[in-house]
Amino acid sequence: MPLDHPVSRDDQALRAQVAQLNATLRHHSATDVLRAAFDAVPDLALVSSFGAESVALLHLTAMVNRDVPVLFIDTEMLFAETLVYQQEVAERLGLRNLRIIRGDAIRNLDPDGTLHQRDTDACCALRKTQPLQLALQQQGGWITGRKRFQSGQRADLEFFEVEAGTTRIKVNPLAYWQPGDVADYIAENRLPRHPMVAQGYPSIGCAPCTSPVTAGEDPRAGRWRNSDKDECGIHFVNGKAIRTGAPS
C-alpha cells in the first residue's frame, strides 16, 4: 500500500509488530486476538455504535477486559432506541469505562440540524468522524467490528493493521467471521438485540439517514437510501474514506 510519507524506523517497527501478531494469531479465535491485543497495544479502546450487531463484539471484549474504554459517539441524531439500548447493554455487560463522545462544533456549524439534508458527508464528519478522531488521539489503538465478507475492499482484512497516517493499531477480532456468525453468537449467549432489528433495521445509524429494509434488499440498503453514500467516514486509507460500511 503506497504511503504519503516516508516510512520511518518507528513505522517499520510498528508494521513488523503487526505482521508478527497476524502471523502468530492467524488461526486463533476472536477472544485470543483480543487477549493478545490488550497485551501488545497500549491504551487500546473499543469503538462501538451500539447498533444491530455491536453486542457480540462488546460481549467478547467484556469477557477479556471490562475496563476497556468504550467510545460511543452520540451524534445527537441517533434513534431514542439506540440510546436506551446503549445504557442497557453497558449495564448488562458490566462495561466500566464507557465514554460518550460528542462533537464540540455542532451548535456552531449545524445549529438547526439540517446539514444532513444538504451534505451528508459534511454532517457525518461534523458529528461522527471528527469527534472520534479527536478522542482517538489519546489511544494507542482501537478495536473494530469489521469483517472480510462485508465487501471486496475488506477481503484481505487482517486481525491487526496500522491505521493509515497514524501510529495507531486497528484490531479486527471478527475479521474472519462469516455471515450468520454474529447472529449465532448473540443467540447462543442470549444477548439482547437492538429492538429496531425486529422492525426491519439490520443496520442502524442516525435517524434521518436510516430507513427499514425490505426482504431481499442488502442489509445496508437503508443507510443513506437513494444515494451512493454507504460509509460514515470512520475508516480511512491514505486519508480517504473507504466506502465499505460503518463499523458495528
Active site residues per annotation: 232
Kindly indicate the confidence band of residue 245, based on its pLDDT and cuts at 50, 70 and 90: very low
d(CA 29, CA 191) in angstroms, rounded, equals: 19
For residue 144, the model assigns a pLDDT of: 94
Across 169-183, average pLDDT: 93
Assigned CATH for 9-195: 3.40.50.620
DSSP symbol at 95? -
DSSP symbol at 199? G
For residue 231, the model assigns a pLDDT of: 56
Q: How far is CA 9 from CA 20, 92, 115, 161, 239, in A?
A: 16, 44, 43, 17, 21
Q: Dump the DSSP string for 103-171.
A: -SSHHHH-TTS-HHHH-HHHHHIIIIIHHHHHHHTT-SEEE----GGG-GGGTT--SEEEPTTSS-EEE
Dump pLDDT digits (tens) for 193-211. Answer: 999 999 999 989 999 999 9
| From 26-35, 130-139, 167-176, 223-232, the region with the lowest mean pLDDT | 223-232
Cell (9 digits) for 10: 518507528
Whether the per-residue pLDDT at 242 is higher than 50: the answer is no
Residue type, 164: A
| From 32-46, 169-183, 231-245, the region with the lowest mean pLDDT | 231-245
Across 133-152, average pLDDT: 86
Q: Strands, DSSP E only, in the chain?
A: 44-47, 70-73, 98-101, 141-143, 160-162, 169-171, 236-237, 240-241
Q: Give the distance from CA 119 to its chain's centroid.
A: 22
Kindly indicate the confidence band of residue 222, based on its pLDDT and cuts at 50, 70 and 90: confident
Nearest to 242 by CA among 232, 59, 207: 232
DSSP symbol at 207? G
Dump pLDDT digits (tens) for 89-106. Answer: 999 999 999 999 999 999
Whether the per-residue pLDDT at 147 is higher than 90: the answer is no
d(CA 145, CA 12) in angstroms, rounded, equals: 26
The answer to whether 162 and 14 are in contact (CB under 8 A) is: yes
The predicted model scores a pTM of: 0.85
d(CA 129, CA 121) in angstroms, rounded, equals: 10
Better-predicted residue by pLDDT, 47 or 232? 47
Across 164-193, average pLDDT: 93
Mean of the per-residue pLDDT values for the chain?
A: 87
Kindly indicate the confidence band of residue 11, based on its pLDDT and cuts at 50, 70 and 90: confident
d(CA 56, CA 73) in angstroms, rounded, equals: 18
For residue 150, the model assigns a pLDDT of: 65
For residue 221, the model assigns a pLDDT of: 84
